[in-house]
């Protein structure tokens, strides 16, 4: 998500997935602790619930980054994946800036496809999870009683999956987390995927001012979402997008300075 790769530690988890090197920074496991408590149901032991939630985050973010990595591979660019405390990075090996999402020799259309592939894979995982619910004899309903409508898996009474046990947690978390994270990733805020897509489109329309205009769009979008999140009582999202707004403001100042 962000532009710098976290440094290596002696506790990193390293493995290969579909031929892509994957490194998991220990700080990755902070994310489920901060954001996953709402997915743990009262009927599940907290320790077990935390393990389940960690697994949901791990699979969801890995699938998202695999989308980017597979798109890179399709265009002949090798890449690796890093999971860290703010999400994940699919890093092209041809990148000149260490850890940056520089697309190397890819043209604008290819860069847009690479950026969109991550959210597309994540949303596809949400669809697969919905299919799993129906395969297990349940259904998914839209709950409009909350501030933000929620997709809730329902297993009928008498079903072996009835109630809000581990199966419910996996299905609910797999749907909500992948919908939420990937839709959020498509908002036009840099360096989120939507911000990178918006930048490429704007540069195609106006090669000279495209980058600057994309930063203005990113800054304005981040401020609006931060204010909306604060009004909704979500301090974490308000802080997150407030931080995004600040980094984009700094980026704009540096860009304007460089132009002079």
Tens of pLDDT, residues 7-37: 788 888 999 999 999 999 999 999 888 888 8
Question: Which pLDDT belongs to residue 4?
Answer: 63
Q: Which ranges of the chain have pLDDT less than 70?
A: 1-4, 94-104, 258-260
Tens of pLDDT, residues 68-109: 999 999 999 999 999 998 789 999 986 543 334 444 578 999
Question: Which pLDDT belongs to residue 211?
Answer: 93
Compute the distance between CA of residue 143 and CA of residue 148 in angstroms, rounded to an integer. 9
Burial 51-87 (b: 16+ CB within 10 A, else e): ebbbebbbbbbbbbbbbbbbbbeebebebbbbbbeeb
Compute the distance between CA of residue 86 and CA of residue 64 in angstroms, rounded to an integer. 13
* Burial status of residue 20 (CB atoms within 10 A of its CB: 0-12, 13-18, 19 or more): buried
Phi/psi at 34 (5° precision): -80, -40
Instruction: Please tell me whether residue 223 adopts helix, strand or coil conformation.
Output: helix
- What is the reported pTM? 0.89
Q: Where are the domains of the chain?
A: 187-260
DSSP symbol at 241: H
Task: List the structure tokens of 239.
Answer: 């802080």
């Amino acid at each position: 998500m962000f532009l710098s790769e976290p440094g290596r530690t002696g506790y990193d988890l390293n493995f290969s997935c579909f031929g892509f090197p994957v490194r998991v920074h220990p700080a990755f496991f902070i994310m489920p602790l901060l954001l996953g408590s709402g997915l743990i149901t009262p009927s599940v032991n907290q320790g077990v619930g935390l393990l389940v939630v960690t697994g949901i985050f791990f699979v969801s973010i890995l699938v998202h980054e695999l989308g980017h990595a597979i798109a890179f591979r399709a265009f002949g660019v090798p890449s690796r994946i890093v999971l860290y405390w703010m999400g994940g990075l699919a890093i092209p090996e041809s990148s000149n800036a260490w850890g940056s999402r520089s697309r190397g020799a890819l043209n604008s259309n290819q860069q847009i496809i690479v950026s969109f592939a991550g959210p597309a894979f994540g949303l596809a995982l949400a669809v697969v999870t919905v299919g799993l619910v129906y395969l297990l004899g349940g259904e998914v309903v839209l709950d409009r009683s909350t501030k933000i409508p929620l997709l809730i898996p329902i297993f009928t009474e008498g079903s072996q999956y009835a109630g809000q046990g581990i199966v419910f947690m996996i299905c609910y978390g797999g749907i909500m987390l992948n919908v939420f994270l990937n839709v959020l990733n498509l908002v036009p805020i840099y360096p989120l995927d939507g911000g990178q897509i918006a930048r490429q489109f704007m540069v195609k329309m106006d090669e000279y001012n495209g980058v600057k205009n994309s930063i203005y769009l990113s800054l304005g979008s981040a401020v609006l979402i931060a204010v909306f999140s604060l009004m909704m009582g979500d301090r974490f999202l308000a802080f997150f997008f407030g931080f995004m707004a600040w980094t984009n403001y700094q980026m704009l100042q540096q860009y304007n300075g460089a132009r002079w």
